[in-house]
Amino acid sequence: MKGSSLTIGIVATVATISFIVGLTLALTLAMGAFTFEQLVFSVAAAGAIEFSILVVALPGTFRATVSLIGALLSVAVLFVLLTAPFVAVIQVIVYAGAIVVLFLFVIAYMGERPLAAVADPLVRWQPVAWLVIVVLAAQALVVLLTTDLAVRDELQEGGTVATPGGENPDFGGPEAIGRSFIDDYIVPFEATSLVLLVAAVGAVLLAKRAVQLERGR
Amino acid sequence: MSGSGVPLLAYLLVSGAMFLIGLLGVMIRRNPLMVLLAVELMLNGANVTLVGFSRFWDTTDGQTFALVVMVVAAAEVVIGLGLVVAVYRQRLRLNIDEMTRLRG
Amino acid sequence: MLSVLPWIVLALPLVACIVLMLWPTEPDRRITRVIAVGSVAAAFALVIAIFVDLLGRDAEERTEVTTLWEWAAVGDLEINLALQVDQLSTFMMLIITGVGSLIIFYSMEYMEEDRDYRRYFAEMTFFVFSMLLLVLAANYLFLIVGWAFVGLASYLLIGYYYDRPSAVAASKKAFVVNVIGDVGMVLAAFLLIRDLGTLEYTEVFATAEGGLGDGSTSAEAVGFLLFVGAAAKSAQIPLHTWLPDAMEGPTPVSALIHAATMVTAGVYMVARSNALYELAPYAAGTIAVVGAITLFMAATIATVQDDIKRVLAWSTVSQIGYMMVAAGLGLYGAAMFHMMTHAFFKACLFLSAGIVIHAMLGEQSLDRMGNLRGRLRAAFVGMLVGALAISGIPPFSGFFSKDEILAYALAQGTLGVIVGIVGILGAGLTAFYMFRLVFRAFYGPDPDGGYNPEPHVTTWVMAAPVLILAFLATFAGWIQVPQGWKLVDDWLDPVVGTPDLKPSLGLEAATSLVSVALCVVAIGVAWWLFGHGSERRLAHAKTLARYREVLHQGYYFDWAFEKFLIEPGRQVGAFLRDFMEPAAIQGSIRSTVVATLETARGLSFLQAGLVRLYVFTMIAGLAIVGVIFILVGT
Amino acid sequence: MPYVTLMIVIPLAAALLLLAVPEDRVDVAKALAVLGALATVVVGAVMVADFDRSEGGLQFVDRQNWADQVGLEWIVGVDGISLWLLMLTAGLFLVAIASLVWKTPNRPIAFLALLLLGEAGLMGVFAAGNLVLFYVFWEAMLIPFYFLIGMWGGQRRAIATTKFVIYTMLGSLLMLVAIVATAFSAQDVTGQFTFEIAELKGIDFGGTTSTLLFLGFAVAFVIKLPLWPFHGWLPDAYVAAPIVVTGLLAAVMSKAGAYGFLRIGLPLFPEGADKLALAIGILSVIGIVYGSLLAWRAHTMRLLVGYSSLAHLGFILLGIVAFDVQAGQGAVLQMVNHGIVVVAAFTIVGVIMRGTGGDEVIDDVGGLAARAPRLTWVFLVVAMASLAIPGSNSFVGEFFILTGVFRQHIVLAVLATIGIVYAAVYMLRLYQTSTALREKGVDARRAELRTVDYVTLAPVLIVMFLIALWPMSLMGATEASVEEAIAPAQIAAERPADQIAVEVEPNPPPEAVPLPGDEADTLPEDGATP
């Protein structure tokens, strides 16, 4: 168990570094110039993908959860790069803070226990799962590479659309998001509050029921 | 993307990769906790796309929805973990394949 | 006034029926009597008023159509709820309400012992209403409605004693045969709508020649189909078998419905449709031929019946045959005249028989009767007068009406001569079987074992109608005298016309002589056979047993219907129920359902509750769809 | 006024409110259900009074945006045909619910709620002006009936519901395919993507497409109706269902199939309808004779009435596919007639079963006349109406149906009259066996009519007499709509011009903007090229 985690860690580190270097080079070539932003992006992207793989690949739930923190933070960096500082902050606070902590609590409560030793009833489907993922990845590549996303960039270079931070310095800031919620998306906003309420009530009920069951034993 | 910097395509590729990795995790992991973690990955992947396009189209809508997604994710985690704990207390054996009946 | 009166006439019995039916409990018998007899008698009085009103008008202005409301208008077809008062309908109304009130009056005592007093009178008034609707209707649709309603009333009254299996079976038979007739009429109506676009009498008769064409297939088809209805209602061969069975009803019912009025509706309808039958010579000829066959066969069957009412029933079938002969030959005036006299003498006969049956507590068999003439005077008088009248002995009414038919028939060419000769033979048979009845019931010795208890004498309530009818049966014939005056023909002439070919004085005299002579001979034979007890009768019955069996079976019509129509239908129905339905229909649906269920069962492993499997399949489906889109899109 | 929407929403709302009533307050639930049904009838009555009888198209159209990106709209409206079907539904459900006030079933609240849901579904079917909406209600009405049979039914109810649901579902799935195909085929012709029935009229799909689309719809309709030989679900479902539900199934649900032909089949796919009309007509006539024979030989009362329905529905369908104004008018009238008569018949059967304690084998019962005279009278009236004796309400319908059929297919009309004769035979068998002779197998005093039975029978009988005496009261409102519904099919069948009352406008209209594909043909070449 420990050995395999170590192996995974070493492979991951090597892969990450090479990924960063490769990605930065590729971006530099593609955009025709090297900027600091590209480097940050490369690091964050590599982190996101790397930690994601770790989440799925690591055998223990605790390690996986810690890896998830890495992935979440990497995504937060990506958000910052995308001029979404508010979302990035929330990502860190809610996700990396609250949600992951919740995971850790549960894991701490239950203890790291191995998977029940029963045969996988779906072992025949394992290759199918891989195949499906490959097919979907291929599809995504096909779609992304055949879609001309550069159109929008050209428009901006022509100066027809104001660059963010120019006319709208608050882009991605709390005020803009708040206005968007209140002005345009009041119903979804209220709906989310309802969802949260239901979740809270549901959690309480579940916990209560579980406690009762435990007493009943 | 103000000329220089990183094109949207790169973000989308990262997002897609995260999503697919999460999907794979959902499909092959048998521990419900791990499945929940994988679902978080998928949601994050989707969020990257949302925010990426929000930047791309220069509107905050995508960010707004990313926030909504986070809220939903939080709710989902609360309920999911609650279920996991409930199952754990009853059966002491965590395998998603064992949870085949609605009434335990 | 003429626009309101017929509606009142029509409404009176209907209201009486509704009141009686809706009366919450069995009303006091006096109330029932007042309502039932009062309504029909009042209707009779109003009909007389109508008649007087018409008499005061010119012959051409005696037709009046009044519309209550537009019943239905679909496309270019318009049907009104309308009544037509004219000479023909007034003539019919007089008979219906006149004879009807007498018979309902008579019923007051006849039904005295019965539990369902109110139901009887409700159904009787319903019948009167239906019959009036039938004759008053201004179009074929309401003719059919009245037609069906009288059938319903007849059904109800035949099955009046619902605890008798034979009555129940008879009523059902009557109804079903009548429905067959209805179908014929309805099909005729469809033809009229298709070719003329209307059902109103006035328009149909005005446009028939142009719309249908003289002698065209359509005209013939209309004629034949209408006659199917007429044959069913008027018990003409081969749709006659229900009428003898219909005697299961109370005797006044037999008198009113199955003798005097309803069964003659077919004659009325043919007379009403005279304009159509002029265009359909073959259909008209068929009517005459069927009438002739019917009158002869029914007369022969009547000679062997032992039930007093069944003798009268077969004689009714036979007499309607005469009317049909007349109507088929275009002698509508003669047909209606005979119908009228027949209504009188046949009602008289039935009511007399009713007195006998009532006196003998329901006994109907001639074998249990004899020597009644001293005991039941009124019945004897009525029966004798009726028998003389129906036999055509002058000066009784039947002589005038029957001989008019026969003499005119002989003047109508080859077909007329043939049916006329059959009619004369039939007249002889009629005299024979009628006097057989009279002699067996009223003469000879007491029946074996005597009477136990002694027949009780009835009160004037039953005797009076019999005597009134006997009076009418005797003298009503004088309104139409050969080579003299013809009140009925003249009255009806604007509606039904008069035949072009009239018999000469010599022909009329010869016909009368021959038929009367034949009748006298027949009466003599009857006296010889039946006048003195049963020995001679039984001896001859033995020698003629084979023929008698054929006649007892009514020429096997019932047997043939049962064997070739009803039983195969039953078999097919049972076959469909037991084999076709379970195997083919249910089988096909079962295989469909089973296939669906099996498919579901086969796929149910996907629903094993394995969440990851759901994810697998969902994502796999997504991938497949994605591939398809990409492939199709590029 | 949104009468039609109200007529759908009121029962729906009443059904939902019923769910909020606590289990032990059955009286409140009953009052609520009756009020809901009554309110629906009242709204319907006001609508009838407000209805323009000379107008053939949809009236009181209520149009709400639903999801118009994919051509979905909430369009409900009423024309002469659906007017009476809506009223029939509202009236009969009121009668059925009112009768349950006295005859409380188990779990009454759920029963009443499901009935009201079924009413809302049926209302929706009759009022829908959009194919998708039609389909949604078509399926929705199945669900409450599924539960009503499955939970309150008698023996073999599991098999009955399975057959009923799967078989009808099979048909409706084909209809769903046909609906989508219709929208796309229509888009090819007009360039518009819509599911609105009015917008789809007059489109020339071409013979084969039209036939296939018509067939897709027709399968669903004839199974629901049902037409011979698609009636396999009928005996089981009729026998297994509680008798109130059986009555409603026969009276109202079957009309949805016939209505489908008039609302969708004939107007939208006249060519297909014309190609298949004779085949459907022949099947109808077979159904008439077959149903009559089976009714004659049926063992139980319910099956007898059920099979007689099969025969009567054959008449209705025959009238529809004759493409004749009189036949169509007769068919619409007969839908109403059959609905009320069959409800009355099933009520009587239910009353007799009360006397027998549940036995419904025909030959076991007899002699009701002596001690149940009122029942016998009413039974007689209903039996006569059922066998369509001239002068009854059913006769009016059958008469006009056959008048029209006679004009178009004389042989079919003549063969169909066999059914009239058999109707007399089997109805008399039922009436006479149960009423005449000695009393046996039944406690006539228990079977005698009571207040509760009059609640059901009195309104039904009154309407029967009204129609018999004055059919124009109904037919006056339907004529324009029937003419409009059958005119396209008449044109497709090349009927003489004097029989066709309404002109059909081509769709798309000639002056419409040409389609992208057509432009090359219509525009001059030099103008089109830059």
Report the CATH number at residue B55: 1.10.287.3510
State yes or no: pLDDT of A210 exceeds 80.
no
pLDDT number for residue A166:
46
pLDDT tens-digit map of C160-180: 988 888 999 899 899 989 999
Place of tokens 């999503």: B19
Q: Say whether residue B30 is in contact with chain C using an 8 A CB cutoff.
A: yes
DSSP string, D465-479: HHHHH-THHHHHHHH
Q: Are D153 and D163 in contact (CB under 8 A)?
A: no
Q: Assign A21 to helix, strand or coil.
A: helix
Residue C256 has pLDDT above 90, yes or no: no
More confident residue, C181 or D166: C181
Q: Which of C72, C159, C577 is the closest to D294 by Cβ?
A: C577
Three-state secondary structure readout of B42-99: HHHHHHHHHHHHHHHCCCCHHHHHHHHHHHHHHHHHHHHHHHHHHHHHHHCCCCHHHC
All partners of chain C with 3 or more CB pairs under 8 angstroms: A, B, D
- Grouping H, G, I as helix, E, B as strand and the rest as coil, residue D153 is coil
What mean pLDDT is predicted for residues C246-271?
A: 88
User: Could you read off the pLDDT of C383-402 as tens digits, one per residue?
Assistant: 899 999 988 888 888 888 88
Under an 8 A CB cutoff, do B26 and C615 touch?
yes
Interface of B with A in 71-100 (CB under 8 A): 71-79, 81-86, 88-90, 93-95, 97-98
Q: What is the DSSP letter of A34?
A: -
**C611/B99 Cβ within 8 A:** yes
Kindly give the residue spans of alpha helices, DSSP state H, lying in D322-392. Answer: 325-356, 368-371, 373-386
D9-53: pLDDT as tens digits: 999 999 999 988 888 888 899 999 999 999 999 999 999 998 888
The alpha carbon dihedral of D174, D180, D184, D189 has a sign of: positive
- The β-bridge partners of D361 are D300
Find, in chain C, the residue whose alpha carbon is nearest to that of A123: C613
The encoded tokens of residue D70 equal: 């994919």
Dihedral class, residue D55 (left if φ above 0, else alpha if ψ from -120 to 50, else beta):
beta
Return all residues near D431 (Cβ < 8 A) that are at least 6 apart.
D379, D380, D383
Do the chains contact at A35 and B5, CB–CB below 8 Å? yes
Question: Do the chains contact at A45 and B14, CB–CB below 8 Å?
Answer: yes
Tell me the shortest Cα–Cα distance from A70 to chain B, in angstroms: 11
Report yes or no on chains A and D touching (3+ CB pairs under 8 A).
no
* pLDDT at site C492: 81
Residue C612 pLDDT > 90, yes or no?
no
- Touch of C by A (3+ CB pairs closer than 8 Å): yes
Supply the ipTM of this predicted assembly. 0.74
Distance CA D305, CA D302 (A): 5
Which H or E element spans position D62? strand D59-67
Binary contact (C576, D329; C-beta < 8 A): no
Domain ranges of chain A: 1-112
Report cis status (omega within 30 of 0) of the bond before C24: no
Percent of chain D with pLDDT over 70: 95
- pLDDT at residue A76, rounded to an integer: 92
Which of C520, C264, C296 shows the shortest CA–CA distance to C392?
Answer: C520
- Residue B3 maps to a domain: no
- Residue closest to D246 by CA, chosen among D316, D168, D345, D334: D345
Chain A: closest CA distance from residue B101 (Å): 16
Between CA D305 and CA C323 the distance in angstroms is 42
Q: Do A132 and C623 touch (CB under 8 A)?
A: yes
pLDDT band at residue D513, thresholds of 50, 70 and 90?
low
Q: How much is the average pLDDT of D198-217?
A: 87
Share of chain D above pLDDT 90, in %: 38
Distance CA A124, CA D164 (A): 39
A129-147 pLDDT, tens digit per residue, is 888 889 889 888 888 888 7
Residue B32 domain-assigned? yes
Can you tell me the mean pLDDT for C40-66? Answer: 87
Q: Quick check: C160 and C110 in contact, CB under 8 A?
A: no
Range of the domain at B76: 8-98
A110 part of contact set with chain B, CB < 8 Å: yes
Instruction: Using alpha carbons, select from D126, D353, D143, D96 the residue that is nearest to residue D239.
Output: D353
Residue D318 main-chain phi, psi, to 5 deg: -55, -40
Task: State the DSSP code for C239.
Answer: S
- Reference C407, options C476, C482, C327, C518; nearest CA is C482
- Written as six digits, the tokens of C246 are 């219909």
Q: What is the pLDDT of residues C434-485, one digit of tens each?
A: 888 888 888 878 777 777 777 777 788 888 888 898 998 888 888 888 777 7
pLDDT (average), residues A166-178: 73
Report the chain A residue with the minimal C-alpha distance to residue B55.
A82
Quick one: which H or E segment has residue C74?
strand C64-74
Residue-level pLDDT at B38:
92
Contacts of A among chains (3+ CB pairs under 8 A): B, C
- The number of distinct structural domains making up chain B is 1
Contact between chains at A135 and C623 (C-beta distance less than 8 A) = yes
A-chain residues near B53 (CB < 8 A)? none
Mean pLDDT of chain C: 86
Inform me whether the pLDDT recorded for C45 exceeds 90.
yes
Q: What is the mean pLDDT of chain D?
A: 87
* Contact assignment for D420 to C182 by CB distance below 8 Å: yes
**Which of C189-198, D257-266, D286-295, D518-527 is the least confident region?**
D518-527
Which of A128, A135, A142 is nearest residue C616 as measured by Cβ atoms? A128
Which pLDDT score is estimated for A74? 92
Confidence of residue A214 (pLDDT cuts 50, 70, 90): low
Report if residue B43 sits inside a domain.
yes
Q: pLDDT (tens digit, 9 = 90+) per residue, C504-528?
A: 888 888 888 888 899 999 989 888 8
Which contiguous run of DSSP H or E holds residue C82?
Answer: strand C77-85
Q: What gap in Å lies between CA D314 and CA D318, rounded to an integer?
A: 6
Q: Do chain C and B touch: 3 or more Cβ pairs under 8 angstroms?
A: yes
In chain C, pLDDT over 70 holds for what percent of residues? 99
Q: Taking 80 as the threshold, does the pLDDT of residue C610 lie above it?
A: no
Assess whether pLDDT exceeds 50 at residue C614: yes
The pLDDT, as a whole number, for residue A160 is 37
Give the pLDDT of residue C584: 75
Over residues C302-348, the pLDDT tens digits come to 888 888 888 899 999 999 999 999 988 888 888 889 999 999 999 99
pLDDT, greater one: D252 or C115:
D252
pLDDT at B1: 42
Residue window 346-405, chain D: list those with CB within 8 Å of chain C. Answer: 367, 369-370, 373, 377, 380, 384, 387, 389-391, 395-396, 399-400, 402-403
